[in-house]
Amino acid sequence: MKIKFSLLDISIVNQQMNIEEHEEFIINKTYNIYLSNLEVPNIIFAATLDDYVNATLLITQMNKHEQLTKVQANSYKAKLTIGQICAALFNGDWYRARILEVGENRVRVQYIDWGNTGWCDSILEIRPLPNEYYKDPVLCVKCILDGVSSNEKLSDEQTNAILGILVLDLKLEMTVLRIENNIPYVRLNLGERNLNNEIRTILLSSNTKKQNQIMDFNSNKPDINLSEIHYVQLTTVDIEPECFHVLLMRDCLPIIMNVLKDWHANKQPLTTEPKPNMLVCAQYDADDLWYRGWIQNVTEDGYRVYFVDFGNEEIVSIDRLSECPDNLKNIPWQSIQIKLANIKLTDDERYILLRDFETDRLEMKIIQKHQDIYYVDLITNEKSLVEHILELRKKQQLQINEVPKIPMEPVQQIFTNVSTSIPVTTMENVSRTSNEYSQPIPLPVQPIVDIPGQPAILNNSKMLPSSTITNSTTTVDAAKMPLSTTLNTMTKQEPITQQKNDISINDNLITLINEQRRQNRLLEQIIAAINTTNALLTQLVQR
């Protein structure tokens, strides 16, 4: 027959010697602690940093004590009583323990400095505790996680998820919220993570049926307090102009990541054929990792999946889809669409921001919300991303201003030069002009413009980009073709011969006029080629 003992109902008193309980924790005080043991989902045994060090040293000392290393007599069994302090063996080491239950050949004990319990052989694994080990008080305290229910029946998946959060031998911050029946109700934090909230989220999935859910997209969007500061991470440049998607860095994010980090090995196959509006897990092509995905539609190449926690989408084949874990189905989407307030971004600027700040933890202040888009200010290291873009624009403008400007000769001035350069023609040089230009002059083809290394200097001392106008037979340098020079070369002053008859004079004049018109057309084409070159160079300088 077994006699059972409960720590919650009875105060344990040893007739001979006892060990003091741990000093009480103070309400609203935060302690740095280690978890020495836990009972899923809501009971923990907490040890302060000093307690943890002392408990570890105590193990070393007890395992060297002569009284514990020698074999005890069988008569020790008759002395064992409930509540008695003793030394008990666990995994080959001796610990301070209290007897909770006495069986026929064994006893159940609680290892008082660590919180765990177990059965020991009453003869081989139990010893009297040496007197010097009674002086230290109990080195851990039983606590209850505030707001975490113990009534839910947990699945293996939920238990493993909670054990992934409540990690032993990891330093945590514990705040004592209240004390009831001498038991502290506490909140655990790891940095900015609220571990109580993470465990509550896991427990919310206990009533979820294990099936693919058809889910309404809008009803699973996250609730966001517009007056609070939120912490986010840039994830995606959105297809809508000026917009991004950001990942909300909330308490439930570690839950999602912890469950899915080993999902390739633990994934569950789909139980039904994928269909639109179904929440699944999808393997992302860029890194082959698994993420929560919402099926938008079915295509010839696969399923168009929207990754609800990151805001991007892609076509995924059916072999890269799996069932979504139950404890992740009720967690809202963790991605929202944002736009930087008070600035208009180009596509290049959006990609620059994503490149420079993709891994940063950003503060997000919400200015306003319009439909599903949040207009925000994003801040990192006390500097706004808007300031970053404005500085970038200023640097780009300075670089443009530093490029030397190439002076362009006005077209109107060229026409002025042409109009004022028509030579005076006498009767004697008409025949000479006619003979000199009796051969055809090839017209220029469309100019071939290369990016100039240096500007060319015209004969009128003005700067123009060097541009060569080419033809299969003749090359004409536009910079050397002012009409006044050409006609002055053509005409030379000689004595006027009065003996020419009127008919010859008229014919020669007509020839000269026609030639002048042809020269004008040629010059216009040269000017057009120069203007084209100047326009291209202007565009190049602006870029």
Say whether pLDDT at 441 is over 50.
no
In this structure, the answer to whether residues 45 and 117 fall within a common structural domain is yes
Give the whole-number percent of the chain exceeding pLDDT 90: 44
DSSP alpha helices (H): ranges in 47-110?
A: 49-62, 66-69
- For residue 380, give the DSSP letter: E
The residue count for the chain: 543
Q: What is the pLDDT of residues 237-246, one digit of tens each?
A: 998 999 999 9
Structure confidence at residue 233 (pLDDT): 94
User: Of 340, 374, 397, which closes a domain?
Assistant: 397
Structure confidence at residue 474 (pLDDT): 38
In this structure, the answer to whether residues 526 and 432 fall within a common structural domain is yes
67 assigned to some structural domain: yes
Between vectors from CA 292 to CA 159 and to CA 196, what angle results, nearest 5°? Answer: 40
pLDDT band at 526 (very low <50, low <70, confident <90, very high): confident
pLDDT band at 481 (very low <50, low <70, confident <90, very high): very low
The torsion of the CA quartet 78, 83, 87, 92, rounded to 10 degrees, works out to 100
- Distance, CA of 513 to CA of 507 (rounded, Å): 10
Say whether pLDDT at 273 is over 50.
yes
Backbone angles phi, psi at 188, to 5 degrees: -105, 140
Structure confidence at residue 403 (pLDDT): 58
C-alpha distances (whole Å) from 340 to each of 241, 366, 454, 523 are 11, 10, 43, 54
249 assigned to some structural domain: yes
70 or 245, greater pLDDT: 245
What average pLDDT does the structure give for the chain? 78
Average pLDDT over residues 97-112: 92
Q: How many CA atoms lie within 13 A of 26 on its CB side?
A: 3
- Cα–Cα nearest to 47, from 233, 231, 171: 171
pLDDT band at 156 (very low <50, low <70, confident <90, very high): confident
In this structure, the answer to whether residues 241 and 368 fall within a common structural domain is yes
Q: What is the pLDDT of residues 24-64, one digit of tens each?
A: 999 999 999 999 999 988 899 999 999 999 999 999 999 99
- Distance, CA of 376 to CA of 48 (rounded, Å): 42
Structure confidence at residue 75 (pLDDT): 41
Element housing 429 (H / E):
helix 427-436
- Cα–Cα nearest to 294, from 282, 283, 275, 278: 278
Give the whole-number percent of the chain exceeding pLDDT 70: 74
Q: What is the pLDDT of residues 489-512, one digit of tens each?
A: 444 444 444 445 555 666 777 777
Average pLDDT over residues 192-211: 74
307 or 458, greater pLDDT: 307
CB 303 within 8 Å of CB 316: yes
In this structure, the answer to whether residues 149 and 225 fall within a common structural domain is no
- Whether omega for the bond prior to residue 137 falls within 30 degrees of 0, making it cis, is no
499 or 114, greater pLDDT: 114
300 assigned to some structural domain: yes
pLDDT band at 538 (very low <50, low <70, confident <90, very high): confident
pLDDT band at 540 (very low <50, low <70, confident <90, very high): confident
Tokens of 213: 């859910």
Backbone angles phi, psi at 214, to 5 degrees: -85, 120
In this structure, the answer to whether residues 393 and 415 fall within a common structural domain is no
- For residue 273, give the DSSP letter: -
Say whether pLDDT at 94 is over 50.
yes
In this structure, the answer to whether residues 335 and 248 fall within a common structural domain is yes
Average pLDDT over residues 73-102: 82
Domain count for the chain: 3
DSSP reduced 3-state for 36: strand
521 assigned to some structural domain: yes
Structure confidence at residue 368 (pLDDT): 93
530 assigned to some structural domain: yes
452 or 303, greater pLDDT: 303
The CATH number for 109's domain is 2.30.30.140
pTM here?
A: 0.42
19 assigned to some structural domain: no
In this structure, the answer to whether residues 364 and 476 fall within a common structural domain is no
Backbone angles phi, psi at 429, to 5 degrees: -90, 0
pLDDT band at 205 (very low <50, low <70, confident <90, very high): low
Say whether pLDDT at 88 is over 80.
yes
In this structure, the answer to whether residues 422 and 393 fall within a common structural domain is no
Q: Is residue 23 exposed (0-12), middle (13-18) or buried (19+ Cβ within 10 Å)? A: exposed
User: Of 356, 371, 397, which closes a domain?
Assistant: 397
Q: Which domain holds residue 177?
A: 30-196
Structure confidence at residue 214 (pLDDT): 75
Element housing 3 (H / E):
none
Q: What is the pLDDT of residues 393-421, one digit of tens each?
A: 999 988 888 755 555 544 444 444 444 44
Structure confidence at residue 219 (pLDDT): 83
- Distance, CA of 35 to CA of 401 (rounded, Å): 63
DSSP alpha helices (H): ranges in 403-477?
A: 411-419, 427-436
191 or 2, greater pLDDT: 191
In this structure, the answer to whether residues 290 and 382 fall within a common structural domain is yes
207 assigned to some structural domain: no
- Cα–Cα nearest to 162, from 122, 137, 196, 129: 196
Beta strand residue intervals within 17-130, DSSP E: 30-39, 43-48, 85-90, 93-102, 106-111, 117-121, 126-127
Q: What is the pLDDT of residues 163-186, one digit of tens each?
A: 889 988 789 999 999 999 999 999
In this structure, the answer to whether residues 382 and 266 fall within a common structural domain is yes
Structure confidence at residue 109 (pLDDT): 95
Contacts of 63 (CB under 8 A, 6+ apart): 69, 93, 94
Structure confidence at residue 503 (pLDDT): 59
User: Of 142, 166, 196, which closes a domain?
Assistant: 196
DSSP reduced 3-state for 170: coil
In this structure, the answer to whether residues 133 and 234 fall within a common structural domain is no
In this structure, the answer to whether residues 267 and 360 fall within a common structural domain is yes
201 assigned to some structural domain: no
Structure confidence at residue 506 (pLDDT): 65
Structure confidence at residue 70 (pLDDT): 74
Structure confidence at residue 215 (pLDDT): 79
77 or 397, greater pLDDT: 397
Say whether pLDDT at 119 is over 50.
yes
Most confident of 2-11, 489-498, 523-532: 523-532
C-alpha distances (whole Å) from 329 to each of 151, 211, 310 are 21, 10, 16
CB 210 within 8 Å of CB 180: no
